[in-house]
Amino acid sequence: MRKVPMFCGPSVPKRRCLAQAPKDSCSSKCIVPCRQLKKTMDVGQMQRQWIDYTKSLFLEKGFLDGQFLQLQQLQDENNPDFVVEVVSLFFEDSERLLKDLTFALDQNGVDFKKVDAHVHQLKGSSSSIGAQRVKNACIAFRNFCEEQNTDACLRCLQQVKQEYCIVKNKLETMFRLEQQIVAAGGSIPTELSFIG
Amino acid sequence: MSNKMLDYFNITIVTYLAYLPIEVIGDVLRMRQILTNLISNAIKFTHEGRVGINLYVVSKPNFAKAEDIQMMTPNQSTMSVNGVKEEQHLSKPQSGNDGNLLDGCQKHDDHPSQNHAFNDECGSPAKSECSMNGDTEEQPYSAETTVWIRCDVYDTGIGIPEDAIPTLFKRYMQVSADHTRKYGGTGLGLAICKQLVELMGGQLTVSSKEHYGSTFTFILPYKVSIACDHSDDPDELSDLENNDVASDDTIESFFQYQPHTLGSLFSSNGSSRTQKLLTHKIGYTSSHKLGGFSESLYSKGTCSVDDASSVVDAPETSELASSSGHSLETKNKSLVRRDKQHQDKARAWSFNGYADSSEVTVSNGEMAGATKSSEPQQTCQGQGKANTTTQCVTSSSTSEVTKSTIKPKILLVEDNKINVMVTQSMMKQLGHSIDVVNNGVEAVRAVQRHTYDLILMDVCMPVMDGLQETKLIRTFEETGNCDAARSSGIEESLPDPDYECYVPFTKRVPIVAMTANALSESAEECFANGMDSFVSKPVTFQKLKECIEQYLVNFS
């Protein structure tokens, strides 16, 4: 019945989801069920959505890589919020590093060693949590640090910041989805075996 | 420490000693060397299961029959190292006679190379030298009653690949380069054992199945003791304290040979141990007051003897039999005493340090308890680890070395907080808790404070580079040893290559590099700097699991 898939995520214009009946699930592209439907959408559906969304993060744009799966596997009853914790730590750490990088590259005499050290850290942590695109941007960044090319470094910094923002967004969305699933009494699917 | 070491090994030490109702004479020094080497190897290469020693009397083997009468025999100038008390006279059958045979085997005088002398002289009894107590040496080998005793040292360890067997006993040969890296050692132990066994007129062979275990067998001829000092005197025990060993005759003869013999097997300037030996021996003959003398023996170059509990450190600090032997004796002394009270015919003899002719301390009472009981006498032959194993077993009175329940101590050296969190979580899932330090300096401090079973080291860190850090730790491991050895009066530069393989595992911690750059060049660099392996970043659960399995094999 619905012709146009409705995207109800935070990053898209808020439109009412037009699914009318409980059995009417939002299109698979609908990221977050609207509040109106929240109560009628069952947990299973939410979980499927979550899976789809997460999948897209991996497969479509490569925002995340297999390392992220490692993190998810570390989450269990003993460690129920592991992923959120690690990722939050990553956000904190990254923001600090990005700030330091901005500062360092803003200096008259750029200390490339320091810049490189920061980028190295960022590369390490993004790699550890599976933020693939951030990591790749850092690798490129480091090459220019070696060359001591300030302009190129600034461009890289921009790139890194951008990638960081995107992945942060995606992850936060994912976490929100998760919260909703849990709130509705469901559990986060642990099987994400599509990534080898 | 000994407990820890014991726990490292999921190994049960078992012994089987055939009853031998006679007393035999052999070369204790050499026997000890051979057994120590074989047993140490067995323990070293066995991650779990058993290390065993079997002793049997066998009939004259073919290789001996074929040989000339000129064949070397351990010429023992009667050194029934009776010495004083401790002698378990084989002729006295007793319950739990296990010790008997051992005694026979082990009681040797320190006539190192009587064998050498013989050999050099093509077998003809070197009259001048062998004139020791004007004893039996004169007599041609064939006229003496000779008993052939076979000893198997077997293990359920990693085994030896078939193609390595032909070169196994060659000098400097180790099964593979990887082997060397993992297990250390010089590759000289077996070559020396073979040489010794052959010089004594015997044969050393091996049979092995890769991954299942190995058995090293040596068969040696021993002369039957002619004169036995079967004293049962209770005051023997009192002399236990005194490291005494042999009778006058033997001591004298011992003197004559000492300089020749030891020199030939060791480096040209002789080991410092040799020097000490000579010194001791000289003092020894002059007086029969073994009591006073033995104290000096004890005090030289050994770790604390008095405190049995401190034995723990002995094997670590020194690779010499003396320290471990002394310590062991201390422990066994108490056992012996206890047993003497309980058993009329209880015999015990002490296993003394290198400096004296050795006697094995066995407490018969202990032997009643199957496996464990024989352990003291057997394992005390070994040094280091073997000794501490014995120590623990006898003191804890458990019949078997049980599987380790101690958690391995793991150190993570990593500065990135996220990496720390991820790695820590993975290790937790693998069931291990880890210590974390953020830089190389802290890592060195941590290593000084504790002994770690595994170190995971990030190679790119601020403050101190991971590679530098590893180099530092390796140096520390070596100097740590030396310092300890020095403090116990033993020079660390003992040119005793065959004992190198006795450096306890704990002293060389496996260091695994964690590197984002896993290209072969950096891997080479890691190894060159003393790292054992590397894990490429980002660290995954599987990588850590494999690492643990490889380097923490002794933990359940």
CB contact under 8 A, B418 and A74: no
% of chain B residues with pLDDT over 90:
10
Q: Which residue of A has its CA nearest to B544?
A: A70
Q: Please say if the pLDDT value at position B492 is more than 50.
A: no
Distance from CA of A134 to the nearest CA of B (A): 14
Q: Amino acid identity, residue B340?
A: K
pLDDT tens-digit profile, chain A (196 residues): 444 444 444 444 444 444 444 444 444 444 454 554 445 568 888 888 888 888 888 877 789 988 998 998 898 888 889 999 999 999 999 999 999 999 999 999 999 999 999 999 999 999 999 999 999 999 999 999 989 999 999 999 999 999 999 999 999 999 999 999 888 888 877 666 554 3
Residue to mutate among B413, B414, B420, B421, with most A CBs inside 10 A, is B421
Alpha-carbon gap, residue B447 to B433, rounded angstroms: 16
CB B86 within 8 A of CB B348: yes
Long-range contacts of B287-296 (CB under 8 A, 24+ apart): B288/B248, B290/B83, B290/B84, B290/B239, B290/B242, B290/B243, B290/B244, B290/B245, B291/B239, B291/B241, B291/B242, B291/B244, B292/B242, B293/B242, B293/B243, B293/B244, B294/B241, B294/B242, B294/B243, B294/B244, B294/B352, B294/B356, B295/B242, B295/B243
**Which chain A residue shows the shortest CA-CA distance from B430?**
A74
**What is the pLDDT of chain B when averaged over all its residues?**
60
* Residue B87: how many other CB atoms lie within 10 Å: 26
Ordered by start, the domain boundaries in chain B are 3-60+144-224, 410-552
Mutation test of the interface with chain A: which of B415, B416, B545, choosing the one with the most A Cβ atoms within 10 A?
B416
> Quick check: A186 and A43 in contact, CB under 8 A?
yes
CB of A122 within 8 A of CB of A134? yes
The whole-angstrom separation of Cα B207 and Cα B213 is 9
Give the number of beta-carbon pairs within 8 Å between A and B. Answer: 57
**Residue B302, pLDDT above cutoff 90:** no
Q: Where are the domains of chain A?
A: 82-171
CA B120, CA B115: separation in Å to the nearest integer?
8
Q: What is the pLDDT of residue A85?
A: 95
Smallest Cα–Cα separation from B347: which of B99, B19, B79? B99
pLDDT of the residue at B460: 73
The H or E element that residue B139 is part of is none
Point out the residue among B418, B460, B516 whose CB comes nearest to the CB of A86. B418
- Nearest CA to CA, how far is A116 from chain B (Å)? 12
Residue B118 has a pLDDT of 37
Query: pTM score, two decimals?
Result: 0.42
Instruction: Collect all residues of chain B within an 8 Å Cβ-Cβ radius of residue A76.
Output: 429
| pLDDT 10s digits, B79-102 | 333 433 333 333 433 443 443 433
pLDDT of residue A153: 95
Q: What is the dotted CATH code of the domain comprising B410-552?
A: 3.40.50.2300
Dihedral angle computed from the Cα positions of residues B366, B368, B372 and B374, in that order, rounded to the nearest 10 degrees: 80
**B72/B454: higher pLDDT:** B454
B419·A85 Cβ contact <8 A: no
pLDDT digits (tens, 9 = 90+) for B235-277: 444 444 444 444 443 333 333 333 343 333 333 343 344 344 3
CA–CA gap between residue B152 and residue B155 (Å, rounded):
10
Report pLDDT digits (tens) over B414-435.
999 999 999 999 999 998 999 9
User: Tokens at residue B15, please?
Assistant: 């012994």
Contact flag B418-A67 (C-beta cutoff 8 Å): no
Examine the pLDDT at B217 and tell me if it is beyond 90: yes
- DSSP SS3 for B437: strand
pLDDT at site A32? 52
Contact A53, A174 (CB under 8 A): yes
Instruction: Provide φ and ψ at B454, rounded to 5°.
Output: -160, 140
| Spatial contact of B75 and B111, defined as CB atoms under 8 Å apart | yes
Q: How far apart are CA A176 and CA A46, in angstroms?
A: 11
Residue B341 has pLDDT above 70, yes or no: no
pLDDT digits (tens, 9 = 90+) for B424-471: 999 999 989 999 999 888 888 888 888 888 999 888 765 556 667 677
Q: Which of B10 and B219 is assigned the larger pLDDT? A: B219
**Which two three-digit tokens encode residue A75?**
């989450």
Contacts of residue A121 in chain B, CB cutoff 8 Å? 415-416
Select the more confidently predicted residue: B20 or B143: B20
Is B3-60+144-224 assigned to CATH 3.30.565.10? Answer: yes
Q: Are the C-beta atoms of residues A173 and A31 closer than 8 Å to each other?
A: yes
Cα dihedral B248, B249, B252, B258 sign: negative
User: What single DSSP character describes residue B243?
Assistant: T
CATH number given to A82-171: 1.20.120.160
Q: In what order do the strands lie in the sheet with B434-437?
A: B434-437, B410-413, B454-458, B511-515, B533-536
Chain A residue with the nearest C-alpha to that of B427: A74
Tokens of B165: 């067997």
Give the Cβ contact number of residue A58 at 10 Å.
Answer: 19
Q: Which of A76, A128, A139, A164 to mutate to test the interface with B (most CBs of B within 10 A)?
A: A128
Nearest CB among B422, B429, B460 relative to A128 is that of B422
DSSP output for B88-110: --TTS--TTTHHHHHHHHH-EE-
> How far is the alpha carbon of B426 from chain A, nearest alpha carbon, in Å?
7
Residue with the bigger pLDDT between A189 and B11: it is: A189
Residue B472 has pLDDT above 80, yes or no: no
The confidence score (pLDDT) of residue A51 equals: 86
First to last CA, chain A: 37
**Closest chain B C-alpha to A143 CA, distance in angstroms:** 14
Full DSSP string of B266-306: S-TT--HHHHHHHHHHHHHHH---HHHHHHHHHHTT---SS
Q: Cβ contacts of residue B481 below 8 Å, gap of 6+?
A: B316, B317, B492, B503, B507
* B219 pLDDT above the threshold of 70: yes
Q: B311 pLDDT exceeds 80?
A: no
CA distance B15 to B5: 20
Q: How many CB atoms lie within 10 A of CB A143?
A: 15
For position B464, what pLDDT does the model report?
A: 55
